[in-house]
A and B are shown apart, each in its own frame.
Chain A
Amino acid sequence: MESQIILLVFILVLSIFLGVELITKVPSTLHTPLMSGANAISGITLVGAILSSGSSELTTIILGTLAVFFASINVVGGYLVTNRMLGMFKKK
């Protein structure tokens, strides 16, 4: 258990540094699509929601199913709206 948590923390720390490096270079023109695109990625919690929703415990199923609902709005809406915005960015 302990070694597993250390591994997860290790991944966490590296990902944060990676995120910082990736985003620092984004021009301000793209800040809104970046935010909504990143927001869609945060809907990854959908993966956890699906697992809870498929559980055998009734309370977990109810909470998990609600989570699937909200997370899928976040994912589908987030990606589509980002795509729609980016489609408008044109150069002459």
Chain B
Amino acid sequence: MDISILVNLTYIAASILFIVGLKMLGSPDTARQGNFLSASGMLLAVVITLLDQNIIDYRFIACALIAGSIVGYFAATKVQMTSMPEMVAIFNGFGGIASLLVGSAEYVVSPLDNSALMGAIYFTVLIGGLTFTGSLIAYGKLSEIISGKPFLYKGQQFVNGLILLAILLVGINMLFIQGMISPNQTLILLISLAFLLGVLFVIPIGGADMPVVIALLNSFSGLAACAAGFVITNNVLIVAGSLVGASGLILTNIMCKAMNRSLANVLFSGFGAVSETNSGGGEKQGEVSPINAQDAYLILEAASSVLIVPGYGMAVAQAQHAVRELGELLEANGAEVKYAIHPVAGRMPGHMNVLLAEANVSYDVLVEPEDVNPIMETVDVCMVIGANDVVNPDAKENEGSPIYGMPIIEVDNSKTVFVLKRSMASGFAGIQNPLFFKSNSRMLFGDAKETVSTLVSEFKG
């Protein structure tokens, strides 16, 4: 009895460490210590759990712990910062499958007539399973193993409806009328349906909407852990899981607001496919004015304020280091340099911030759209590097546009806009961008990294 009190007191201590750790993650100055506190909480919870008297054999636990830690260590230390979105996606998935396995492990030894326990297992397996396959699909899309385009088919809603109905029926069978099918069949059926739901839930969502999906899957991985807490009646799982669930939901909400779309719209509309039909075959909007790097350099050299607007294209081209170098040269040349970062730029919340941090850009020159839009008229040059939809003036001007109403970085109000772009192919969502045709826009075609490096060498020149 004594040991169980000690265990529970330790779980309280671990919960406090998680809460304080998360709080400290809220400021760049304390974030690192916060993460450390949260990790100490985890270590404490794991170590005290190992003292549990019901554990019969430690060999399997030890092997799995060591193997998992080694895999986690190498994954975390080897991953490139540009691959961070898929890394976070796959870790979410592992959390989900772990919760599913815990739920299943308890199911095979639990009394079937305990409805509360069955309900908890049901939700653990369901949420864990859909988090797992959903994350794998997100991983595939982000690492371009599978196409990032939204995948839509006829009758999609109907098929999804059928699966949800089947999941509901399995739940009723599990909770209220056992015996229609054997317990093992019930479990396998539930796992399969959860897996299927995860795949079908993420597959119609396009790459540009991935920040929403990752934040949502993050939330689900927490909720799965929380549900597992109900299965094994363990407070620390419930506290930690629901903290993560809440944080993921808030991030999801922030991402949706930044796109002026509801969560339902992101999940069910297959954005790219819808917009293709809406834009009516892409009518010509005028001629673009290309510019070469030499002329761009002359304009930059004379500029006294420069705003850099990075997007996913900067990540793809791995241009962040060259961009930082250009920024430093511009500053040395007497210009004020800021980086405007849209909340949904890139493939996960905060993606651009991480890349620029990696390239040693100080975080106090990173600004948000609402900070720069009011002073946009005073900016001499905006450099749009691999961003498209987040600077599309259609969001303000064209009511027929699928992105109408989305808050954007209003670069078209600045004196000169340089758009670094590989070619004139339309952006991810397939929407025309009238920014390219404005009289103050100049197109710098080519690979973003090469273009920026050319500008850097012109400055050093």
Contacts and interface: CB of A to CB of B under 8 A. Distances in A.
Interface string A49-63: 111111111011101
Contacts of A73: 68-69, 71-72, 75, 91, 94
Interface in A45-84: 45-57, 59-61, 63-84
Interface string B206-246: 00000000110010011011101111111111111111111
B77 A80 contact: yes
Interface string A10-25: 0110011111101111
Interface stretch (B27-35, B308-316, B423-431): B27-35
Contacts of A89: 28, 31, 357, 363
B25 interface: yes
A60 B108 contact: yes
Most buried by A among B38, B42, B64, B65: B64
Given A46-B46, A48-B228, A86-B35, A32 B350 contact: yes
Contacts of A47: 45-46, 49, 234, 236-237
A60 B232 CA distance: 13
Contacts, number: 376
B237 A48 contact: yes
Interface stretch (B55-63, B139-147, B282-290, B413-421): B55-63
Given A59-B105, A83-B32, A25 B25 contact: no
B445 interface: no
B323 interface: no
Given A70-B68, A73-B75, A31 B353 contact: yes
B256 to A, nearest CB: 14
A50 B91 contact: no
Chain A interface main SS type: helix
Contact of A19 (B214, B243, B351): B243
B166 interface: no
Contacts of A4: 233
Most buried by A among B46, B231, B362: B46
A68 B61 contact: yes
12 contacts: A12-B226, A26-B25, A28-B350, A28-B353, A33-B354, A37-B35, A59-B108, A64-B105, A71-B95, A74-B95, A80-B76, A88-B81
Interface of B: 18-19, 21-23, 25-28, 31-32, 34-36, 38-39, 42, 45-46, 49-50, 52, 54-58, 60-61, 63-65, 67-69, 71-73, 75-77, 79, 81, 84, 87-88, 91-92, 94-95, 97-99, 101-102, 104-106, 108-109, 114, 116, 214-215, 218, 221-222, 224-226, 228-251, 254, 341, 343, 348-351, 353-354, 357-358, 360, 362-364, 366, 368
The 3 A-B pairs with the shortest beta carbon distances in the complex, nearest first, are A19-B246, A72-B68, A54-B55
